[in-house]
Structure 1
Amino acid sequence: MRLAPSTDQAGYAAAVHELLTDADLPGVASAWADGDVAPWRAMWSRLAGLGVTGLIVPERWGGLGGTVADLVVVAEELGHHALPGPVAESIGAVPALLAAAGRDGPADKWLPEIAAGRVVATLAAPPWLPFAADPDVADLILLAGTDTVWAGRADSAYPSIDAGRTLAEVSPAGVLASGAAGAVAQAMNMGALVCAAQLLGAGRALLETSIGYARQRTQFGRPIGSFQAVQHRLADVAVGLEFARPLLHAAAAHPGQRDRDVSAAKVACGEAAHRAARAALQVHGAIGYTREQGLGRWLTKVRALTLSWGTAEQHRARVMAELAKEARS
């Protein structure tokens, strides 16, 4: 079992990184926050050109037929750049849900469009996912129950702590699949893993930004990065991120077989990203709160994603339940 990206996966992630680096992501995020999603749509189309939107869509529906391990490597890069939008839903959970629910009907209709980047999808699945993210940009909204999938209709909308994110309650508007308990469970694990990968990428970006600032900012005539307290704080962040990555890749290797591995990865990546966010604020000081500095794009996204796709408490409870089940068997 590989606990790190392969050479091919790293090369693909590098291509995504180059595309996002060359794009004006701060401008895209700012336009999104102001209600203009056209730049984001253009960005999404460019990602589709690289195959990101159809990465795990089976080839018969026009996708690349990639693995979950491929997906989390790319999702980490999307989190590294704080890309707005329903990322975990559109490239992970919804394609997995439609593909697992069956070939006929909804899958034939929507999966080719999702793979081509022409359709953006979002999902609500209480209790882990009580609200659908970014329904205002979604062309397809789904609602998932324990074993039923409905076409959804966005109702009451709520703002998120992340300016690049909106939330909405979803009501059912027609059954798409029934007897789909396995498909729903697979989709929930997929969404949690993509979310965990985004958190890992965001934590990495926060660490890189903190290191760069610590080298430039001087205090008492010296860069603050030369102070041992700052070094130790950032070293703790680096250790946390590196310890979370193998858990993510181990869970991605067999996401449908060990629910507790998915939950462990979500908790570990969330905690590592949260630690990176706290350290980034401490290193930057008051300037870290300013919009001009730009740190907030990652800070608010970490907060929002940590609470999405199952809270730490919900995932810890699932780990404990799985361990108790194994102890009894």
Structure 2
Amino acid sequence: MGLEVASTLDRLLADLASTDRLLHMAASQAPDPTLLAALDEVGLAELSVPEELGGLGLDLYQLCLVGWVGGRRLMPTLSRLRMTLVGPLVTDGFSGERPAGARWGCGFPAIGSTPADGGTAEVWIEEGASAALVVGQRASRVVDLGRPDSVVEPEPGVDPGQGRGRLSFEPDASTVLAGADHARIVDRARVLVIAELSGIADRVTEVSVDYARQRSQFGRPLAGFQAIQHKLADMRAGCELIRSAVSRLAWLDEPRPELTASLGAATVSVARQVTEDAIQVHGGMGFAWEYGIHLYYRRCLALQQQLGGTESLRRFVGRSIIARRRTR
């Protein structure tokens, strides 16, 4: 089932998320509502909801296949967050009737960040969204965006066109989702970030190999130069390292934030190097806005920030190791 969903998503994004469209979205600083609506119709928010509750009940390994495709095709960040957070959190967490037809915005905590129990949150929101799912380290809540005290200030960041902003809200007026398996859902969402990094690395390596075969310099293909061959080999090795990390995390039954952070720090560094190498292989084309290779580099940097940054991740892992050692 996961492979079928991933294939469907791949075809949809290949058709609707062309390079030209992604560049237009980045230049406009706002998500493409048509693309978001099309992805919502696929039912991404229901993929991880159990079958008995009306979803497809995909396990983490299957969701990683979908996330990998999302990385290859630069699926909008908001769609990935809805896929991994909205369905399971809202379905399990609401004690009353689940809101129908809500256009959700999503906030997501970086590993090791200070618990945010209210007030402000980093979110990704499209125009006209009616509610925001603000996910903290220990709890999640739904914020009504129709209230006058719920204010969103745009913050484009390094990956423009994704609807990133800063939400200020009144904590007492929000709904806390106390019934959801919060820790498990958040940990799985972080694994999906790493799966997306795997898709990004695979895609830019694939494009770089094709470019090196087709592009000639000094009367011979770029692929014939030893320096390019070595760089492409390093990129492929990096892809395999990230894929191994995703495979390890995908089979975990219980939340392992320390392991997720450790492998997250490693994969972020590798994925960033792969995308930087891809830009180098493309030479001047790699730096050209119109070609679009920089979009993958920007997304890689944004995902690094979403996980918490390599320094913060390593600090979190180090403190966890020391704390565990003291308890023995």
* Pairing partner for 2:312 from 314, 322, 327: 314
After TM superposition, give the deviation of residue 322 of structure 1 in Å. Answer: 3.3
Length-normalised TM-score, structure 1: 0.83
Q: 1:78 offset after TM fit, Å?
A: 0.7
Deviation at 1:201, TM superposition (A): 0.8
Q: What's the CA shift for 1:233? A: 1.0
1:87 corresponds, among 65, 69, 79, to 79
| Partner residue in 2 for 1:104 | 95
RMSD after superposition: 2.7
Judged with a 3 Å threshold, the aligned counterparts in structure 2 of structure 1 residues 321 and 290 are, in CA distance, closer, same or farther, namely same
Q: In 2 relative to 1, CA 255–274 (structure 1 residues): closer, same or farther, beyond 3 Å? A: farther
Question: Quick one: distance in 1 between partners of 2:177 and 2:75?
Answer: 33
Q: Secondary structure, in 3 states, of the residue corresponding to 1:104? A: coil
Structure 1 runs (4+) greater than 6 angstroms displaced:
none
Change in CA separation of 1:37 and 1:15 when aligned onto 2, cut-off 3 Å: closer
**Can you give the 5+ residue segments of structure 2 that lack an aligned partner in the other structure?**
144-149
Residue 123 (structure 2) aligns with: 132
Q: Which residue of 1 aligns with 2:46?
A: 54
Selected match of 2:265 from 258, 267, 284:
267
Distance 2:59 2:94 in 1: 19
2:16 matches 1:32 = no
The CA deviation at 1:214 is 0.7
- Structure 1 equivalent of residue 230 of structure 2: 232
% identical equivalent positions: 25
**Preserved contact between residue 45 and residue 86 of structure 2 (Cα < 8 Å):** no
Amino acid at match of 2:107: L
Query: TM-score w.r.t. structure 2 length?
Result: 0.83
Structure 1 unaligned residues grouped into runs of 5+: 1-7
Aligned position for 2:67:
75
Which residue in 2 is equivalent to 1:171? 168
C-alpha change, 1:131 and 1:240, in structure 2 (3 Å) is same
2:122 is matched by which residue type in structure 1? F
**Cα distance between partner residues in 1 of 2:284 and 2:169:** 45
